[in-house]
Structure 1
Amino acid sequence: MNSLVIAVYEVRRLIRSRGVLLNLFLLPLVLIFLLGSALSGIFNATELPGGTVKVAVVGERAEPALKMLETYVSEPEVAKRIRTEEAASRQEAEEMLRSGSADYALLFPDGFGSAVQRGEEARVTLLPGKDRSRNLTAGLVLGSFVDEINYRQAAAIVGGPEAAVPAAAPSGADAASAPRSYVQPGRLGTGIETYSASQYYAAAMLIMFLFYSGMAVNTSLNLEKSGHTLQRLHSLPVAYSSVFAGKLLGNGFVAVIQALVIIGFSRFAYGVDWGNRLPLVLLIAGLVILVSMSLSVMLSLLFPRGATAKALLQVLIIVMTFLSGGFSPMPGEVMRQLSLFTVNHWAFQGLLRIMLAGELNGIMSSIVPLLWITAACLLLMVVVYRKVGYRE
């Protein structure tokens, strides 16, 4: 009963605070609107960046791989993106890249096709140009061609040179039923094709500001110490644990209201589609709240000076949001690996998969690690509380 009374008082104190209303409720909604509107053109693009890419190709005219490449780039979907130009040597291809007459280069060494058919080591060289978006387009489109070469090389290693030669094209009645093209446009997932800027930043800001809501526990716990009211409360028939539990309940309730406001307002005011699995969205938000409050409590107890704990929390929130791509999608394998060690990554990916109407197994692959992280944080919080305690 004492904990509930303290929780009610905590909720009333937080709701009456203009700083809480502005920073935890209004600011995330403003950021979602501004970022979603400003970057809508980038996130809503339905085509690959860069337009038609000019690729300089170096290799012998009789090279089988060049004939494969000609067939590949003649496909209608590929022809929209790739246009090949012949180059006599690597030096000429590099000069074309420097001058801008080519955007990308593909180099076949002498005897490349024969080496592939024999199952021997063979390397094709890809030279990117100056434009990052065109490099991305060329890499994505030519990736299927390189995969086909790798497949033939692997087939030659296992089954001999004959296995590397593609089967003859069907004729007669079978030709009508045979696939006309190896390149077919498709959709990722079973729902919408991609998320919008508003969806992306709604998920990112929800997670980040739920962590800031958890940081309010740090302020609340230290407020009783700095005001020397904790000892007075303890002089009454109120245990330190009751005060501690009341603080957590009150701040947790406000964090839940904050999550509901952000999700509901962004849905009806901005048209943000949170997917068709709202209970899973709320589950992820609840797990983030538990993690944020656990981290806030641990740092508050380990660092008696409230300013130190608050500064550490702010740095931790910013770093985790940055690494998980909350400010901008992070390129590079190194950054992706680092993001796996952040709470934001698992919550963020789970929300995006829900928004994209992904399969339940894919969504749970993000929620399950988040569950383990939450359990570990709660356990550590209990251990720290038992070792340090909450008292003046």
Structure 2
Amino acid sequence: MNILRIAGKELKVFRDIKMLLFMLATPVLLMLILGTALSGNFHEAVKVDPIRVIYSYHSTNRTLETQWEAFLLETKSSGIHFEEVTSRTETDVLRDVQNNLYTGYARIVNDGISYYGNNGNGMENGIVHGLLAALTDRYRLSITETNLPAPDENYVTEASVDAVRQPGGLDYFSIAVTTMIILYSALTAGQLIETERSRHTDLRLLASPITKGEIFAGKIVGSLVYNSIFVMIIVLFSKFMFGVNWGEHLWLVFLVLLTEIVLALSLGLSVGYCLKGNAAGSVLMIIIQAAAFVGGAYTPVEQTTGMMKSLSRYSPLHWSNDAILDIIYAGNLKAAPPAMVLNLGCSVLLLALAIVLMRRREGL
């Protein structure tokens, strides 16, 4: 009950309508400015890397064999190289594709074509998949007397291939700004305890029949609920007012964002206990800006190179953005758990640090 009372106290911030409108206007304006000013970055000509596809042929159908040989000649003249598997096992071939030695692996059998592509080669995979789909359409017409799949079935089985859809400028920056704003909540979390000290209400709280743990938990719960509602409003506002594509699995996107909120609050509390006053805010601002800069808040990570791209993997914005984009544009629901585990894992470590520091202090 004490935890809920303290959480309720944190939620009284909703009484200040002017502040709420200002907090809502900030991310909305950032979405519009970045999404409009930098939208050209999402419509430039894209350089396609050399396409090398490895394949294994297991069909006994002579008609398909003739079509496949003609297909290889046509693709060769287009600069797309198909290499047949010789003595390697399928496991070794798939490992080569995973290591980016090949764009993908095609397996041709009597029942159809299975294609396995590297997730990092979305554009190249789309080209190969389109060519294979065209081949099967032509093959289907040339062997109408044989036992083929129903016309509404897809003759090409596709695995681990990026979706053709890509986010526009406003779509991308709506996601990037939302995750960045979440990280800024670490600043308010860092002041949760410091505010009590500056107002000298910490001694009153400790004198009341409330434990340090209840105070700590109540403030976390209150901040979590408050920030979750705020983020939900931003997402729904951008979805219905700007037409931003948040995908068909909005509930899963919210779960990823929720774990990032937990991470931001944990970061703010741990730094707030390590440092006092303005020092905590300064350190948090540096961490947030660095994470936003390398994590794709202002420029998509795919457009960066060198050290910037290497550092991006350590930014919570990068792995959260990647998971959300994968869910929305590739329908890959399996992208959410790794990002959520990373967010919650870091949160546990940071909260553990804050708890240890809290217990060592006489006051809050």
What is the TM-score of this pair, normalised by structure 2? 0.67
The 3 A distance-change label for structure 1 pair 190 and 310 is: same
What pairs with 1:140-219 in structure 2 (closer than 5 Å)?
140-141=48-49, 143-144=50-51, 175-177=66-68, 178-179=70-71, 180-182=74-76, 183=80, 184=127, 186=129, 189=161, 191-219=163-191
The 3 A distance-change label for structure 1 pair 227 and 336 is: same
Q: Which residue of 2 aligns with 1:320?
A: 291
Q: Aligned pairs, how many?
A: 274
What pairs with 1:233-382 in structure 2 (closer than 5 Å)?
233-303=205-275, 305-330=276-301, 331-382=304-355
Deviates more, 1:6-15 or 1:334-343: 6-15
The 3 A distance-change label for structure 1 pair 344 and 300 is: same
Q: What whole-Å deviation, never above 9, does each CA across 1:293-348 have from its counterpart, x for those lacking one?
A: 11111111111x22111111111111001111111124114222211122222111
Q: Using the TM superposition, give the Cα deviation of residue 372 of structure 1 relative to its aligned residue in structure 2, in angstroms.
A: 2.8
List alignment gaps of at least 5 residues for structure 2.
55-61, 81-126, 131-159
**Paired residue type of 2:45:** L
Provide the C-alpha distance between the structure 2 equivalents of 1:11 and 1:172, rounded to a whole number of angstroms.
71
Provide the C-alpha distance between the structure 2 equivalents of 1:334 and 1:307, rounded to a whole number of angstroms.
31
Q: Give the SS at the match of 1:253.
A: helix
Q: Which residue of 2 aligns with 1:28?
A: 27
The 3 A distance-change label for structure 1 pair 243 and 376 is: closer
Q: Using the TM superposition, give the Cα deviation of residue 268 of structure 1 relative to its aligned residue in structure 2, in angstroms.
A: 0.6
Q: Using the TM superposition, give the Cα deviation of residue 225 of structure 1 relative to its aligned residue in structure 2, in angstroms.
A: 0.6
Sequence identity, in percent? 27
Provide the C-alpha distance between the structure 2 equivalents of 1:289 and 1:357, rounded to a whole number of angstroms.
24
The 3 A distance-change label for structure 1 pair 366 and 227 is: closer
**Paired residue type of 2:240:** F
Deviates more, 1:212-221 or 1:181-190: 181-190
The 3 A distance-change label for structure 1 pair 375 and 236 is: closer
The 3 A distance-change label for structure 1 pair 287 and 176 is: closer
Provide the C-alpha distance between the structure 1 equivalents of 2:281 and 2:129, rounded to a whole number of angstroms.
48
The 3 A distance-change label for structure 1 pair 172 and 233 is: closer
Provide the C-alpha distance between the structure 2 equivalents of 1:172 and 1:218, rounded to a whole number of angstroms.
70
The 3 A distance-change label for structure 1 pair 389 and 277 is: farther
**Paired residue type of 2:231:** A
The 3 A distance-change label for structure 1 pair 308 and 30 is: same
Indicate conservation of the 8 Å contact 2:11/2:222, yes or no. Answer: yes
**Paired residue type of 1:2:** N
Q: Which residue of 2 aligns with 1:48?
A: 45
Q: Give the SS at the match of 1:181.
A: helix
Provide the C-alpha distance between the structure 2 equivalents of 1:173 and 1:350, rounded to a whole number of angstroms.
39
The 3 A distance-change label for structure 1 pair 361 and 9 is: closer
Q: Using the TM superposition, give the Cα deviation of residue 189 of structure 1 relative to its aligned residue in structure 2, in angstroms.
A: 4.3
Indicate conservation of the 8 Å contact 2:171/2:245, yes or no. Answer: yes
**Paired residue type of 1:213:** S
The 3 A distance-change label for structure 1 pair 290 and 365 is: closer
The 3 A distance-change label for structure 1 pair 190 and 216 is: same
Let me know the Cα RMSD of the aligned residues: 2.8
**Paired residue type of 1:27:** T
Q: Give the SS at the match of 2:182.
A: helix
Q: Which residue of 1 aligns with 2:100?
A: none
What pairs with 1:86-165 in structure 2 (closer than 5 Å)?
137=47, 140-141=48-49, 143-144=50-51
Q: Which residue of 2 aligns with 1:10?
A: 10
The 3 A distance-change label for structure 1 pair 31 and 376 is: same
Indicate conservation of the 8 Å contact 1:189/1:356, yes or no. Answer: no
Provide the C-alpha distance between the structure 1 equivalents of 2:363 and 2:252, rounded to a whole number of angstroms.
34
Q: Using the TM superposition, give the Cα deviation of residue 223 of structure 1 relative to its aligned residue in structure 2, in angstroms.
A: 1.3
Indicate conservation of the 8 Å contact 2:247/2:329, yes or no. Answer: yes
Provide the C-alpha distance between the structure 1 equivalents of 2:205 and 2:264, rounded to a whole number of angstroms.
26
Q: Give the SS at the match of 2:285.
A: helix
List alignment gaps of at least 5 residues for structure 1.
50-136, 152-170
**Paired residue type of 2:12:** R
Q: Give the SS at the match of 1:351.
A: helix
**Paired residue type of 1:381:** A
Provide the C-alpha distance between the structure 1 equivalents of 2:271 and 2:362, rounded to a whole number of angstroms.
12
Provide the C-alpha distance between the structure 1 equivalents of 2:363 and 2:323, rounded to a whole number of angstroms.
35
Q: What whole-Å deviation, never above 9, does each CA across 1:202-239 have from its counterpart, x for those lacking one?
A: 11111111122232122232111111111123233333
What is the TM-score of this pair, normalised by structure 1? 0.63
